[in-house]
Amino acid sequence: MGLVRDSFEVEPDATVVGAMGRAAEEVTGAPALVYGETYWMDAAFIQAAGIPTVVFGPAGAGAHAVEEWVDLASVQACSDSLVAAARELCA
């Protein structure tokens, strides 16, 4: 049968989603895109442990492929957005 794990889902109106969206928009000047993915991520473990979770990251392509890349400017924007969201959530 192979490996079976619970899926991950977060409500679009969850506090962590709102904080991350506001932070990303503040940093980039563009509204954050909120959408689902079909592949599995470790975020499911975090959410299952009762920790509100959102998946957010820089732009790139080729995850786990021979040629994997990330846009360096988006890494900085991602970092700045995560810090801004953490400040809001931890205030």
For the segment(s) 15-89, the CATH number from 1.20.1300, 1.10.3470, 1.10.150, 1.10.1060 is 1.10.150
Mean pLDDT across the stretch 33-38? 85
Residue 79 has pLDDT above 70, yes or no: yes
48 contact partners, CB below 8 Å, separation of at least 6? 6
Per cent of the chain over pLDDT 70 is: 99
Dihedrals phi, psi of 75, to nearest 5 degrees: -65, -45
Query: What does the pLDDT read at residue 7?
Result: 82
